[in-house]
Structure 1
Amino acid sequence: MLPSISPSSIEPSHQWVIRISKTFETHLLVDTNLPICIFHVPETLINENHESYVPKRIGLGPIHHFHTELYSNQEQLKLTTSKTVLTPYKIAYHFTKTVIENLKQLVPEVRCCYDSYFDVDDDTLVWVFTLDGVFLIEMLSKLSEQDSLESFEDIVMVENQIPLFVLIEIRTALEEHISGHCNNTFLANLLVRICETHSPLKFSKRVSRLDLDINNRFHLLDCLYHLIVNHNVTAKNQFLQTNFLDDVDLEDVENAVQMASEICPGASAFLQPLMIVLKLPWDKIINLIKKMLGENPAVLEIDIPSASELSRIGKIEFCMTPGGIRDVEFDDETTTFYLPILCLKPDSEVVLRNLVVYEGLMFKKGTFTNLDFTQYVDLMCGIIDSAKDVRVLREKHIIERDLEDDEIVKIFNGISKSSMKTEEVSGLQKTVERVNKYYGNVPRVKVYYFMKKYFLAWWKAIAIVFTLLNLMLLVVRGACEVYECNNSLGFGFVRLIFSVGTERDGLVEFERI
């Protein structure tokens, strides 16, 4: 029977005392500055896109090593791979003493890297990390030589990370067994090649191991995140669009209702229910309906026009910058929007989503102080709404891709805007504000906003009123068909309306034929 690595959600009190005492001792006795850096992805995100967060082929570390779906297929593969890797070191008879005993000393530090305590003994945990660590080093070596997208998707996931100091210790133990000394050049160069090859953002210069101090990095995903965020060539009002009523200013509608009531006192009887309808939580109602119908809930985006609108209406020129996400800039004088080069491959959605989740979880823990990458992805989700937007950015060489335009649209339309906020307004947020300010002052756009503010609320209010009246009439008509209403009750008028409506519908259908 395989041991269960997943922490139990319900446990007797005496087991809780044993577990919590072990956890407390581990954190109290371990002298380390390593932060929690490997997390369980929130269930809401997994439900939103299961394929991006749960490995399909390779389970690494205590979270996924013993998952039934993966274990039966990968145990023999890991053993075979480990044998292939270890054979040149001639370490078969000394493996336990050379590798296992060294890693066992690191178990307390390894436990501190996870956001949950795993109720397994140290021996089990050591063998999990040894087997998975050796396997991961070999996988990285193969990935650096060929572009195996399927494997990379799994090993870059947040829950599938192996602490980097475990890999360093394995390499050190093996090299010292042969030559008596070891440096981390091989592993550093290997990680750099992997990150450079699979980064969704293009590096303007050749990345070297000098750009990546692996002794201060936590794992593979952290290496990739560090290189992307810190790559540059130079050393707050965001509004959500959640449902079809977001364009309606409730204050404008209330003013309209009040004016209508003053002009026609009887109108308030019809318009007051309208206000009740408008104040309903339509975003939750619509998402619930879509969920019942099997559709994905609406995705939140930042308030910025699409790339095609900025180009066609705002006459904003897009230009690539050789830098990174911290070099996103808008030049007011030349009306040029500078964006870094984005290289999109079949595995890019998994990489983008896990980088965003990792940054967000580290931000919540207080390890990261900004949300640079998340804000960049929010920006790209905002300006890419359709294939026209992708085409604009592709023609300006901002997007390089192995995907079709529609596939790229699907990626960015499926990622929801982050709800987390930083204390200070970032440079990228200020850039978005300047773009919106410039676009909002375009004469054509100003006219549209004026029409939207003063007339759209009226038209939507009228449409809702007629919808409600139509529903009421349908109810009355149904009641009349059952109870044979007479004219003295006033229902003959309703019948007349529906008879006229039916005749008109018939005429319309006749004309169409």
Structure 2
Amino acid sequence: MASPSIFNSESDEDSWVIQINQLVSETNLSILNKMPVCIYQVPKSLSCAKPEAFSPQLIAIGPYTHFHPDLYPMERFKVFAAKGVLDHFKKHDFKQLIEQLRSTGQFIRASYHKYLDFKEDTLLYIIAIDGLFLLDFFHNYLNEEVSGSFMTGLQDQVQLSGVKLTKDAIIRDIIMVENQIPTYILVRILVLESSKPADSVLEFLGSMLLSFCKKHSPLKVTHIPTDSEAVSKHYHILDLMYHLVVSHPEKSETPTTPDQSEGTSTLKKSSKSEGTAASNHFKKVKNVLSWTLESAKKLKDVNIPLVQPIKRHIDTILNMSSHLESLSSHPKLSEEEEAPVVVNIPCVRELHSVGVYFQPVEGGNMAIDFDEKKGIFYLPVLKLDVNSEVIMRNLVAHEALTKPDFLIFTRYTELMRGIIDTVEDVKLLKNAGIIDSSSSLSVEETEELFNGMSKSIGPTKTEKLDETIKKVNKYYHDKRKANLYRTLTEYVYNSWKLFTLLATFVLLAMTALQTFCSAYDCPSYFRPK
């Protein structure tokens, strides 16, 4: 049986030879050096958990999805919107625009990771139609302060086309990894159609894209570039939103307070001294408890009807013994462990139970921090709606494909997945202002969103965030250990008379039993007949 092949005919083989010659040509290699790959197909390893979050459901944008059978019925709406933009500028018809874009064909191909097996005209038509459609959609986000007469009066052709398309569905499709159009194509179209200087076009387009990102980003955007930088320094709308979310703030990465000027060595010493004191208190009562429990074990092994009522309560006491032993030797309470690939952290309500407070912080993912002295966990503000899950999943995929050695946003989603277990955790974060009160998702939907996020892709170099997670875990376990020791110590000291009485009773009972059995044949006397 012949192996499967990509070729169906000799003409396909001829086309393949032509493609290879184009790929290895010096001109193409020169273009690749100038225009790095920026638009990828999502591998199944990233999309398998929820494929629909990465596959457009309504509108196809770009060559990867343009001819998808399920999406093609919307093609005429895109064409209608594209024609509306051309009519607004009244400069070129569609064929003239294609000719003006012809020199960009090789640069377009270089932007996509997958080889685009389209003829030149087909590819240019795809890019022109989809680029004009995006301009029609984005113009609604244009900042009025900089718009002037640039696109004023352009009607929303999609809404007037006879069928009111779902705006949220378009937003989700536009932000998907595989549905991207290079930003420079949008710039080129606007420069050709508007007759405006390139600097003005960058400002106008940047205003649209920044407004879109600020409105739909799941994280509050605090570090914002200029309108021109939003276009010139980022490859497409998803890349812009990603860098707005994870970029370093201009000032300090972490919130600082005067109290934080003290050295961390003082904090470590005080934490260590508290743990040592609690351990000493525990040791003082451990010997008394151990002697009493050992006597209880011996009493349990004696098969005498007289002590049967007492034996029913011995198991409870012995269970307490095993719990105390496990507590004193628990590795998480004794030594700090290395951070695993998957984030292991207590949930919000558990952290809250040991005195951890949550406070919003500006600066995105890079500003996440934990103040060990005050017990304050600083997290960026989340604003969630029906589009947030798709946007966050595609930001994770974009990061994995473009920055595989520094998955900071991925680590952040794992952190949120770790601290949110139930709706009670969501409510606590809402009360603390970490989840914006204007978020349209219910607490149940928010809990499902984070619990449905994928686990870790693999080891990442996110030292600062991992160090923060370690500090939170250490604080939690130290506080929990101290609280348990304190509770047990207070209980034992308050009940020492009861324990002394119990120990005396057990000792007398064992002595009496030993005396009785030395005078009589206990096994034969109590053996069942």
TM-score normalised according to structure 2 size: 0.64
- What's the counterpart of residue 55 of structure 2? 54
Q: What is the Cα deviation at residue 88 of structure 1?
A: 2.4
The 1:31/1:65 distance shift into structure 2, 3 A limit, reads closer
Q: What is the Cα deviation at residue 390 of structure 1?
A: 0.6
1:150 aligns with 2:169: yes
Q: What is the Cα deviation at residue 425 of structure 1?
A: 4.4
SS, match of residue 338 in structure 1: strand
Alignment of 1:332-481 (within 5 A): 332-364=372-404, 369-400=405-436, 401-422=439-460, 424-444=461-481
Look up the equivalent residue of 1:175 and give its one-letter code: S
Q: Is the 8 A contact 1:52 1:350 kept in 2?
A: yes
Between 385-394 and 32-41, the greater mean CA deviation after superposition: 32-41
- What's the counterpart of residue 200 of structure 1? 218
Query: Which of these residues, 6, 11, 21, is aligned with residue 10 of structure 1?
Result: 6
Alignment of 1:18-29 (within 5 A): 18-25=18-25, 27-29=28-30
The 1:112/1:447 distance shift into structure 2, 3 A limit, reads farther
1:76 aligns with 2:76: yes
Query: Which of these residues, 315, 319, 322, is aligned with residue 362 of structure 2?
Result: 322
The 1:188/1:443 distance shift into structure 2, 3 A limit, reads closer
Look up the equivalent residue of 1:70 and give its one-letter code: L
Between 316-325 and 353-362, the greater mean CA deviation after superposition: 316-325
The 1:330/1:316 distance shift into structure 2, 3 A limit, reads same
- What's the counterpart of residue 186 of structure 1? 204
- What's the counterpart of residue 138 of structure 1? 136
SS, match of residue 212 in structure 2: helix
Look up the equivalent residue of 2:345 and give its one-letter code: I
Q: Is the 8 A contact 1:440 1:446 kept in 2?
A: no
- What's the counterpart of residue 289 of structure 1? none
Gaps of 5+ in 2: 144-155, 157-165, 254-340, 486-529
What is the Cα-based RMSD across aligned positions, in Å? 2.7
SS, match of residue 115 in structure 2: coil
SS, match of residue 59 in structure 1: coil
Alignment of 1:172-251 (within 5 A): 172-176=191-195, 183-204=201-222, 207=224, 209-210=226-227, 212-230=229-247, 232=249, 234=252
Q: What is the Cα deviation at residue 444 of structure 1?
A: 4.0
The 1:161/1:60 distance shift into structure 2, 3 A limit, reads same
Query: Which of these residues, 335, 351, 366, is aligned with residue 310 of structure 1?
Result: 351
Look up the equivalent residue of 1:84 and give its one-letter code: G
Alignment of 1:119-130 (within 5 A): 119-130=117-128
Instruction: State the Cα deviation string for residues 13-66 of structure 1 (Å, max 9, x = none).
Output: 655433332222364242643321111111243332122111111101101111
SS, match of residue 406 in structure 2: coil
Look up the equivalent residue of 2:446 and give its one-letter code: I
The 1:443/1:220 distance shift into structure 2, 3 A limit, reads closer
- What's the counterpart of residue 102 of structure 1? 100
The whole-number CA distance in structure 2 between the counterparts of 1:85 and 1:38 is: 25
The 1:182/1:9 distance shift into structure 2, 3 A limit, reads farther
The whole-number CA distance in structure 2 between the counterparts of 1:445 and 1:150 is: 51
- What's the counterpart of residue 165 of structure 1? 184
The 1:215/1:441 distance shift into structure 2, 3 A limit, reads same
Instruction: State the Cα deviation string for residues 145-202 of structure 1 (Å, max 9, x = none).
Output: 99932211010000000001100000010012x8899532110111110011011111
- How many residue pairs get aligned? The number is 366
Between 224-233 and 382-391, the greater mean CA deviation after superposition: 224-233
Q: Is the 8 A contact 1:439 1:445 kept in 2?
A: no
Look up the equivalent residue of 2:424 and give its one-letter code: K
The whole-number CA distance in structure 2 between the counterparts of 1:150 and 1:144 is: 20
Look up the equivalent residue of 2:65 and give its one-letter code: H
Instruction: State the Cα deviation string for residues 260-317 of structure 1 (Å, max 9, x = none).
Output: xxxxxxxxxxxxxxxxxxxxxxxxxxxxxxxxxxxxxxxx9511111111111x2211
Q: What is the Cα deviation at residue 372 of structure 1?
A: 1.7
Q: Is the 8 A contact 1:141 1:190 kept in 2?
A: yes
Rg larger for: 2
SS, match of residue 343 in structure 1: coil
The whole-number CA distance in structure 2 between the counterparts of 1:51 and 1:395 is: 32
Look up the equivalent residue of 1:433 and give its one-letter code: K
TM-score normalised according to structure 1 size: 0.66
SS, match of residue 71 in structure 2: helix
Q: What is the Cα deviation at residue 92 of structure 1?
A: 4.5
The whole-number CA distance in structure 1 between the counterparts of 2:454 and 2:348 is: 18
Q: Is the 8 A contact 2:40 2:177 kept in 1?
A: yes
Q: What is the Cα deviation at residue 370 of structure 1?
A: 1.9
The whole-number CA distance in structure 2 between the counterparts of 1:155 and 1:396 is: 32
Look up the equivalent residue of 2:457 and give its one-letter code: S
The 1:370/1:84 distance shift into structure 2, 3 A limit, reads same
Look up the equivalent residue of 1:436 and give its one-letter code: N
- What's the counterpart of residue 243 of structure 1? none
The 1:45/1:167 distance shift into structure 2, 3 A limit, reads same
The whole-number CA distance in structure 1 between the counterparts of 2:198 and 2:52 is: 43
Q: What is the Cα deviation at residue 78 of structure 1?
A: 1.4
The 1:127/1:87 distance shift into structure 2, 3 A limit, reads same
The whole-number CA distance in structure 2 between the counterparts of 1:378 and 1:179 is: 45
Look up the equivalent residue of 2:184 and give its one-letter code: F
The 1:14/1:121 distance shift into structure 2, 3 A limit, reads closer
The whole-number CA distance in structure 2 between the counterparts of 1:210 and 1:231 is: 18
The whole-number CA distance in structure 2 between the counterparts of 1:9 and 1:363 is: 33
- What's the counterpart of residue 112 of structure 1? 110
Q: What is the Cα deviation at residue 85 of structure 1?
A: 1.1
Q: Is the 8 A contact 2:32 2:110 kept in 1?
A: no
The whole-number CA distance in structure 2 between the counterparts of 1:310 and 1:68 is: 50
Alignment of 1:479-498 (within 5 A): none
Q: Is the 8 A contact 2:210 2:230 kept in 1?
A: no
Q: What is the Cα deviation at residue 107 of structure 1?
A: 1.3
Q: Is the 8 A contact 1:211 1:227 kept in 2?
A: no
Look up the equivalent residue of 2:344 and give its one-letter code: D
The 1:336/1:9 distance shift into structure 2, 3 A limit, reads farther
The 1:355/1:181 distance shift into structure 2, 3 A limit, reads closer
SS, match of residue 441 in structure 1: helix
The 1:319/1:128 distance shift into structure 2, 3 A limit, reads same
